[in-house]
Amino acid sequence: MPATDSGQRWVFGFPGGLTAEVHTRGARLHALWVPDRHGTPADVVLAPRDPARTADTARYFGSTVGRYANRIAHGRFSLEGTPYQLATQETGHCLHGGPDGFDTRLWEAESVHTPERTGVLLHLRSPDGDQGFPGNLDVTVSLLIGRDGELSFSYAAVTDAPTPVNLTNHAYFNLEGEGAGDILDHELTVDADHYTPVDEELIPSGDHRPVHGTAFDLRRPLRIGEAQARPGADGGYDHNFVLSPHDDGTLRRAAVLHAPATGRRMEVLTTEPGLQVYTAGQFDGSVLGKSGTPYRSGAGVALETQHFPDAPNRPGDPSTVLRPGGEYRSRTVLRFGTRL
């Protein structure tokens, strides 16, 4: 666990299985080596070659984002009759917790190891008023690899005042290998009957709509390039998909990503009600990846398990409010395998 500009660097895994590299600045998944159908490992997580880029155009790559993943319109919401104004980005909205969100922070870390699981436990204290959010918030995130080929993300938080909380990991994946090209030939399945339409500023523009008959129907495996070329997708996705509800906190399948070229397959399971699919249409080559390849449009895909965008302003959506005496809990599992 040597110290770098990215804080401490933790590498963990099992021989013949998955191996991860996590940085404590941003509680960031920097790399993940996954075997292909022939047993040959490759790093499938995008990250910049220069760690300093995580302070600008690559700031969310692999990071834990919060206090509130996704967008809060105009950075404003009311809670129990009190209005709050959050810090906002240049768009005028609050994205991923604000301009100084959890992705910029140096998290404390300790190792976790059992015969079947190995990884790292990270902790962060977010003080009252942080980016405009009320209450002191204590957050823990664990990233654990199992001998069974799974990478799990477990989140927990407690507060001393009511506050919205919505945490996720913002990794971009390319199952052909980081820097191998684009993900247009990857097949994607999303287990969602509805999605969240957005306006030109990516703020929800109305109620959830059925995916049937739209560009957002990904309930059967479809090449990403083919899917996002359909009318209505505007050449790419940056949308929330509404997953089938489970109210007991159990994991359910949200998505499957498959790269036919390598056979690698990633199944996404989560306790969260939503999945933000972002196919990196805004990548313009300005970020040089770990392999030295510029990341261009479609270089990876983010599958962010979370609550819904702008939920603090939408009473009909599942609540994101955490109160004193309660505990925020969320879990997402990435299950890896191969196909011939």
Partners of residue 179 on adjacent β-strands: none
Is 304 assigned a catalytic role?
yes
Structure tokens given for 31: 């790399």
One of 150, 178, 187, 304 is an active-site residue; which one? 304
Is 170 assigned a catalytic role?
yes
Instruction: Determine contact, residues 267/256, Cβ cutoff 8 Å.
Output: yes
Cβ partners under 8 Å of residue 324, min gap 6: 135, 158, 159, 160, 161, 162
Give whole-number Cα distances, 213 to 41, 194, 217, 218, in Å: 38, 11, 7, 10
One of 170, 208, 239, 307 is an active-site residue; which one? 170
Cβ partners under 8 Å of residue 142, min gap 6: 112, 119, 120, 121, 122, 152, 153, 154
Question: Coil, strand, or helix at residue 165?
Answer: coil
Structure tokens given for 46: 């995008």
Rg for the chain, CA atoms, rounded? 19
The count of C-alpha atoms lying within 13 angstroms of the C-alpha of 282, restricted to the half-sphere facing its C-beta, is 6
Partners of residue 223 on adjacent β-strands: 187
> H-type helices in 148-223, by residue range?
none
Instruction: State the catalytic residues.
Output: 170, 304
